[in-house]
């Protein structure tokens, strides 16, 4: 069973639009960690955020915000006023305490294209 589901394979938005990337996860652990990574066309992985399962506070960092909802097992990511530089593949990932919290389960990614 897929532990992390990113149902949106590709999204295109026009510059300055807001966009939300969905992430739904599945775990039986009470202690777990959720991540978002950005993979620009150059291919490297850029860490964006890590949250643990006990911290449901939403977070905002500049134009980025994250909405963690344990009730729906979702950790969605919103980019406000999108820019062309936001074009990338975005991955959501999960780490579980029961496996030692040493490895990450990645979703299949959402490719975001921001059109100028």
The torsion region of residue 100 among left (phi > 0), alpha (psi -120 to 50) and beta comes to left
Residue 106 makes contact with other proteins by CB under 8 A: yes
Here's the x/- map for other proteins, 42-71, by CB under 8 A: it reads as -xxx-x--x---------------------
User: In this chain, which stretch among 22-30, 39-47, 63-71, 77-85 interacts with other proteins, using CB under 8 A?
Assistant: 39-47
CB of 12 to other proteins, least distance (A): 17
Name which of 3, 17, 4, 2 is nearest 112 in CA terms. Answer: 17
Q: How far apart are CA 112 and CA 24, in angstroms?
A: 18
Name which of 60, 56, 52, 57 is nearest 79 in CA terms. Answer: 60
Report the interface residues with other proteins, using CB under 8 A: 4, 33, 35, 37, 43-45, 47, 50, 91, 93, 95, 99-109
């Amino acid at each position: 069973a897929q532990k992390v589901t990113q149902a949106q394979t590709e999204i295109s938005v026009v510059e300055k639009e807001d966009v939300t990337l969905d992430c739904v996860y599945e775990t039986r652990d009470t202690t777990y960690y959720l991540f978002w990574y950005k993979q620009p066309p150059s291919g490297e992985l850029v860490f964006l955020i890590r949250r643990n399962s006990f911290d449901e506070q939403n977070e905002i960092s500049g134009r980025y915000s994250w909405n963690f909802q344990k009730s729906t097992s979702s950790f969605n990511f919103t980019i406000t006023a999108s820019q062309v530089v936001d074009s990338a593949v975005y991955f959501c990932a999960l780490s579980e305490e029961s496996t030692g919290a040493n490895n990450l389960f990645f979703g299949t990614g959402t490719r975001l294209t921001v059109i100028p």
